[in-house]
Amino acid sequence: MLRYTEEINYEEAAQSYGVDKQSMSRWVSEARKKTQTVSRKTTNPNEMATKLPLPNSISFTKMYNAYVLCQHFGFDSTQAGQICRREGLMMEDIKAFAKVVSKLQLTDPKEVESLVSSTQKHQSKIKELEFANRKAQSEIAKKDKVAAELSALLVLSKKAEAIWRDKVS
């Protein structure tokens, strides 16, 4: 069974299926309307970027990384806001990118496999960053406790000094 590709025309495909050219044309146009597919030749992320809405001077990889992290944390979370500020992106751009990416259906197994592997890499990086974040938060909590204790000791020492100075005079 032949599949229609850009290498054969409608007439050849229609003959191989035993239908007229108009039916073949209608089937292809209906299939194109139902799904948007990424070209089978497009495996390079930078080539995919030409098909996606990206702000000027923003690479596909940078936008995709921000999209994955914002999707993980939630687009309205404070972590997503921090990611946007750090990367110099607008949340509206990431949300628009997310809408387009969610509509894409990849048909090439190599593309799907590469995206799955990159997603797994991103998930491991997210876990590493979450661990580092928890560690940093615990360090901050310890330092806050030390600062509170030192300020209490400073207040007590000033009061004690004021009391002893009055007794000496």
pLDDT digits (tens, 9 = 90+) for 41-72: 444 444 444 456 677 777 777 887 888 888 88
pTM of the model: 0.36
12 has a pLDDT exceeding 90: no
- The larger pLDDT score, comparing residue 131 to residue 14, is at 131
What burial class does residue 24 get, using C-beta atoms within 10 Å of its C-beta: 0-12 exposed, 13-18 middle, 19+ buried? buried
Task: For residue range 114-136, list pLDDT tens digits in order.
Answer: 777 888 888 888 889 999 999 99
Q: For residue 105, what is the enclosing H or E element?
A: strand 104-105
